[in-house]
Structure 1
Amino acid sequence: MTPFGARADTLYKPGDWPALAGDRVATATGDTLTVIVYENASAQNAAQNDSRRRSDVDGQIVAGSAFSERGQLGLGGAFESGGQTGRSGRMVAQLSVTVEEVLPNGDLRIAGRQSLKINGENTVIRLRGRVRRVDISPANAIISSRIADAEIDYDGKGFVSSSARPGILAKIFNFLGL
């Protein structure tokens, strides 16, 4: 039998032992994490254009004392345009996601999906992103503004969403520019 020595760094690794007291937070692949989605975004864009131009030509022809002609020509144009767009959106939700991968720097790659069916309306929320462990609260939750590379998708299907889509006549008029 060959004796071998035990070293302290092989017996205890901090990441392998849970705390004796405290809540368990997501640290490994397969762990779940609660995401509190609170997104409130708005954007506006406005453009104004004003262009004016005027050109004048003036001339006179004199031929002897009895014949004289005077002519004048003026050209001008004006153009004004403007446009404004605006968009706003708000989303509040809470869903559980799963840790898909622990990255070399310790960040967690997360993904999750939640499906709801209310009164015939199907709603799906999908979320993907990257989370720093220090941003996870002791309650094993994180707010969506702390998720890097966040992809949050909210989609609905049913009577309400289908009635909000334009009909065939509206599509034809829109295509024709009417």
Structure 2
Amino acid sequence: MRRYVALGLCIALTACGTWGRLKDVGRAPGLSETQAPPAPAAEPSLTQLSTAQRGGEAADPPVAASASLFRNGAGALFQDQRASKVGDILTIRIDISDKASVSNATSRSRSGSEAGGASALFGLEKIVKRAIGVDSNTLVGSSTESSNDGKGSTTRSETISMTMAAIVTAVLPNGNLVIKGRQESRVNFELRELLVSGIVRPQDVARDNSIRHTQIAEARISYGGKGQLTDAQQARWGQQLLDVLSPF
């Protein structure tokens, strides 16, 4: 009974996945919704303060939080424009061109031999030879030999070169910035997605408000996608299931 239940559950899950893919036939992958990042509230400027009409007369304009010409959230004249607080945007320059090649070889061998005997054994050597058929001169003899040979090599190469924008999502107590960026691009029926997140130091942000990917701590860079080309490069679900379950 359990066998039939497990088989039915597997067929149901497969049917659900197949139906979901059938609905996407002839359609391009959808883009995700743009999410509003957290950002501090900005005070309206003096020119943005509107007047409300009361009984045909203009009401007094609302009082601003401060009388400064530069409101919170506005670009200051002499302030550093580099990202420093939640909601700020900075540019990430990704230039990954890593190559690694590792090769090693190990060879080991050992051999040994031992021999022992007695040319005279209190006159009993002839009796021993007749009894066990072994000459007393070669009573003990041993020989051992072992060898081991191993080789291994690894070659890896990755290349990603692009520029994208990220948003400061949090400021740590020590002043470091937590950033997160997401970029999606769709060409015909193929969707490409780039995700970047990590922690940066404000001192590492360049004057043009950019930072290199090598200066991001706890960096998580994901470049992938979905669509017809990606689907063609993957094995069918039946083959993947066999690869997992087959012991051979």
Q: Is the 8 A contact 1:23 1:139 kept in 2?
A: no
Out of 151, 154, 163, the position equivalent to 1:94 is 163
> Which of 72, 81, 84 does residue 27 from structure 1 map onto?
84
Deviation at 1:97, TM superposition (A): 1.0
Gaps of 5+ in 2: 1-67, 120-124
Do structure 1's residue 114 and structure 2's residue 171 form an aligned pair? no
Task: Give the counterpart letter for 2:114 in structure 1.
Answer: V
Which segments of 5 or more consecutive residues in structure 1 lack a partner in the other structure? Answer: 1-10
Match of 2:103 among 35, 46, 49: 46
- How many residues are matched? 163
More strand by share: 1
Q: Which moved more, 1:18-27 or 1:149-158?
A: 18-27
Shift of 1:30: 1.1
Q: Equivalent pairs: percent with the same residue?
A: 26
SS of match in other structure, 1:113? strand
**Aligned alpha-carbon RMSD (Å):** 3.5
Change beyond 3 A, Cα 1:29–1:137: same
User: Which residue identity lines up with residue 172 of structure 2 in the other structure?
Assistant: L
Match of 2:224 in 1: 155
Q: 1:139 aligns with which of 193, 208, 217?
A: 208
| Larger proportion of helix | 2
CA distance in 1, matches of 2:146, 2:184: 59
**Residue of 148, 151, 164 corresponding to 1:82:** 151
Pairwise CA distance, 1:166: 5.1
- Structure 1: how far apart are the matches of 2:107 and 2:223? 41
- Deviation string 1:63-117 (CA, Å, 9 cap, x unpaired) is 44xx774586533232201111121212112111111012222222110111122
Q: State the alpha-carbon separation in 1 of the partners of residues 225 and 147 from structure 2.
A: 47
Give CA-to-partner distance per residue, 1:114-134, whole Å, 9 cap, x none: 112224222211111122222
Aligned amino acid, residue 160 of structure 2? M
Q: Which moved more, 1:74-83 or 1:51-60?
A: 51-60
TM-score (norm 1): 0.71
Higher relative contact order (CA 8 A, sep 6+): 1
Corresponding residue to 1:124 among 193, 201, 225: 193
Give me the whole-angstrom Cα distance separating, in 2, the residues matched to 1:18 and 1:106.
21
Task: Look up the SS of the partner of 2:173 in the other structure.
Answer: coil
- Between 70-79 and 131-140, the greater mean CA deviation after superposition: 70-79
SS in 2 for 1:160: helix
CA gap 1:52/1:19 in 2 versus in 1, 3 angstroms? same
